[in-house]
Amino acid sequence: MKENSLKLNQLMTSVETSLMKPKLPEIKVGDTIQLGLMVREGSKTREQLCEGVVLSRKKRKSLNTSLTLRCSFQGIGVERVFFLHSPRVTFIKVIRRAKVRRAKLYYLRDLLGKAGRLKQIFN
C-alpha cells in the first residue's frame, strides 16, 4: 500500500514539475507588476495587459501558486487572482518594488489616490 502511494506521489510531482514555468521573476507582495494574459473572444485570441500591485501570494513552490493583483481600470479598482503557471499567463514583468511589512495588503482596498501609495525600493 505504501509503495503505491509513493509511486503515485512521485508521478504527481513529475507531472507538476513538467507543467511549471522554468523562468519566473521573483515576485513579492507589494510589487507592481505587468502581466500578459491570453484572452479568447469567439474564435480570436489576443493578449491583454494587466498592471497593478500584488496584494497577496499563496502556495510558494507548487503548480497552484497564485497571486492577487489589484489594478485600476477606468478609475475603478479591480482585483483578479492569477495562477502563475497557467498557460494563459504569457509573461510577468516586475516594474517597481515596494517596502511592505505585511504578508497581505488587503488594506489597500479602502485607500484611494496618494493614500494608496507604497514606499518604493530602488536597486
Supply the CATH number for residue 80's domain.
Answer: 2.30.30.790
Q: How many domains does the chain have?
A: 1
Answer yes or no: is 97 within a domain. yes
What the block records as the C-alpha cell of 73 is 481600470
Its domain, for residue 103, covers 23-121
> What whole-number distance in Å separates Cα of residue 82 and Cα of residue 70?
11
Answer yes or no: is 34 within a domain. yes
Q: How does pLDDT run across 65-118, given as a tens digit for each residue?
A: 899 999 877 778 889 999 999 999 999 999 999 999 999 999 988 887 788 888
Residue 100, amino acid: V
Question: Which one, of 88, 103, 90, 97, lies nearest residue 119 by Cα?
Answer: 97
Q: Is the pLDDT of residue 59 over 90?
A: no
Q: How does pLDDT run across 7-47, given as a tens digit for each residue?
A: 888 888 888 888 888 888 999 999 999 999 999 999 999 99
What mean pLDDT comes out for the span 53-59? Answer: 91
Answer yes or no: is 106 within a domain. yes
Answer yes or no: is 18 within a domain. no
